[in-house]
Amino acid sequence: MVPTIVDGNFCVTEVGRRNRNFRVENGIGHELFVKQTKASDTGSLANFKREIDSYVLARTNPAWNNLLPRVLDIDEDRYSIVLEFIKDSESLTQYHWRIRRFSNLIAEICGQALARFHVSTSLSLLPKDFLQACRRKPVWILNFDSVPKLASGGSKKMLALMQQHPVIREGLQVVERDWKFDCLIHGDMKWDNCLVHPDQNQTPQLKLIDWELIDVGDAHWDIAGLMHSFFVFWIEIDQRDTRQEPASSIEELIARENPLHNALRQSLLVYWHAYQTGVGAKDNDRADLVRCLRFVAARLVLTCYEGVCTEVEMSISMSLVLQLARIIFEDPEKMALLWFPERRMSDSESNLA
């Protein structure tokens, strides 16, 4: 298929990754986003069916529905969804690379949005048939301890590093044992699955997308998914900073008490406080924070695998991501004190853009 089809004022542009995703424009300012599953295996179809069911259910839940793009059409037979194309939107990954810094305002919006989703979808409020269709399984990465013979060189390197540092595998096992099934979770929370766009007053708004992995699971997996994106951006931007030599180890990067590291710490504080406030919890619960950081470490391991599974070599960035997972698993209490000091930011600090 050609990437773009144009006929008069009608234009279809393929913007897909693993699915068939298309942007449809009619030339008069009305745009659509069409998503259809590409794979035909049972697992992929089941995942896409879960996403369809999520959009259908969200229509009955205004708080949740307001966090999603508007649904215009669902065709369950063709496994396709037609959504509004949100004007001037970009993923949070694109947003942060465009401004090349952290934003406390965006961190706050992320925490508030995720809290709103978790609170509005309490399991007691959801239909039994929807809950029965959920898999209720911890994420697969928690059992990652081998790769096939034909795996990429990057995957084999990652596994070798994990074998050199058994604390990573042990940490994954702790997360699996500690996994709870008490919350409806997105399942793949990360900056790539959050769209930010301005409203009529130019105030940033957030939409959550890609609901194929929705499940009954542990809220901390979603919390960690967004939190780990802050850490990955911190690593990546250091690697691309031409003003200094990039860090060759995670210990070296942590030791750089520079404005970037301070900005990371501030955004993490704002995000955590916004989420905890949104769900009515105490943001000074250190035990809960330490538990969350273990989940962050597990999410970093998954991101590392996703970054190396098709690569011949393991990049320095992915090596640092895995190293960060290691040092969190080694001493999550110490890492909590490093990035979440006892003194919480003042309200004036948390409102900085």
Residues 325 and 304: beta-carbon distance below 8 Å: yes
Q: How high is the pLDDT of residue 120?
A: 97
Instruction: Report the distance separating Cα 89 and Cα 326, nearest Å.
Output: 35
Residue 185 has pLDDT above 70, yes or no: yes
Residue 353 has pLDDT above 70, yes or no: no
Instruction: Mark whether 205 and 324 lie in a shared domain.
Output: yes
Q: How high is the pLDDT of residue 350?
A: 43
Structure-block tokens of residue 3: 């990437």
Using the 3D structure, point to which of 84, 118, 139 is the last residue of a domain. 84
Q: How high is the pLDDT of residue 91?
A: 96
Give the HSE-up count for residue 244: Cα atoms under 13 Å, Cβ half-sphere.
11
Q: How many domains does the chain have?
A: 2
Using the 3D structure, point to which of 84, 112, 133 is the last residue of a domain. 84
Per cent of the chain over pLDDT 90 is 75
Q: Is 221 exposed, middle or buried (0-12, 13-18, 19+ CB in 10 A)?
A: buried
Q: Give the model's confidence band at 238: pLDDT under 50 very low, under 70 low, under 90 confident, else very high.
A: very high
Q: How high is the pLDDT of residue 29?
A: 67
What is the enclosing helix (H) or strand (E) of 42? helix 42-58
Residue 352 has pLDDT above 50, yes or no: no
- Count of residues in the chain: 353
Instruction: Mark whether 179 and 295 lie in a shared domain.
Output: yes
Q: How high is the pLDDT of residue 28?
A: 66
Q: Dihedral of CA 316/165/304/250: which sign?
A: negative
Instruction: Mark whether 66 and 212 lie in a shared domain.
Output: no
Mean pLDDT for 272-291 is 92
Instruction: Report the distance separating Cα 55 and Cα 193, nearest Å.
Output: 15
Bridge partners (DSSP) listed for residue 43: none
Instruction: Mark whether 78 and 101 lie in a shared domain.
Output: no
Q: Which of 269, 311, 268, 271 is nearest to 112 (CA)?
A: 271
Using the 3D structure, point to which of 84, 118, 134 is the last residue of a domain. 84
Amino acid identity, position 119: V
Structure-block tokens of residue 82: 């037609």
Please state which of the ranges 14-18, 81-85, 284-288 shows the lowest mean pLDDT: 14-18
Mean pLDDT for 317-324 is 98
Residues 227 and 292: beta-carbon distance below 8 Å: yes
Range of the domain at 328: 90-350
Mean pLDDT for 238-258 is 91
Instruction: Mark whether 219 and 261 lie in a shared domain.
Output: yes
Amino acid identity, position 226: L
Instruction: Report the distance separating Cα 275 and Cα 280, nearest Å.
Output: 9
Q: Is 18 exposed, middle or buried (0-12, 13-18, 19+ CB in 10 A)?
A: exposed
Residue 18 has pLDDT above 60, yes or no: yes
Instruction: Mark whether 75 and 181 lie in a shared domain.
Output: no
Q: Return the SS3 of 70.
A: coil
CA angle centred on 141, ends 39 and 213, rounded to 5°: 45
Q: Is 112 exposed, middle or buried (0-12, 13-18, 19+ CB in 10 A)?
A: middle
Q: Pick the more confident residue, 22 or 346.
A: 22
Please state which of the ranges 20-34, 45-59, 337-351 shows the lowest mean pLDDT: 337-351
Instruction: Mark whether 137 and 165 lie in a shared domain.
Output: yes
Residue 244 has pLDDT above 90, yes or no: no
- The per-residue pLDDT for range 187-208, each reduced to its tens digit, is 999 999 999 999 888 999 999 9
Instruction: Mark whether 273 and 152 lie in a shared domain.
Output: yes
Q: How high is the pLDDT of residue 267?
A: 97
Please state which of the ranges 75-84, 289-298, 341-350 shows the lowest mean pLDDT: 341-350
Instruction: Report the distance separating Cα 226 and Cα 249, nearest Å.
Output: 23
Residues 8 and 25: beta-carbon distance below 8 Å: no
Q: Give the model's confidence band at 1: pLDDT under 50 very low, under 70 low, under 90 confident, else very high.
A: very low
- CATH code of 251's domain: 3.90.1200.10
Instruction: Mark whether 188 and 322 lie in a shared domain.
Output: yes
Instruction: Mark whether 221 and 248 lie in a shared domain.
Output: yes
For residue 31, give the DSSP letter: E
The 3-class secondary structure across 221-270, one letter per residue, is HHHHHHHHHHHHHHHHHHHCCCCCCCCCCHHHHHHCCCHHHHHHHHHHHH
Q: How high is the pLDDT of residue 13?
A: 85
Instruction: Report the distance separating Cα 170 and Cα 126, nearest Å.
Output: 35
- CATH code of 68's domain: 3.30.200.20
Instruction: Mark whether 77 and 99 lie in a shared domain.
Output: no
Residue 87 has pLDDT above 90, yes or no: no
Instruction: Mark whether 198 and 167 lie in a shared domain.
Output: yes
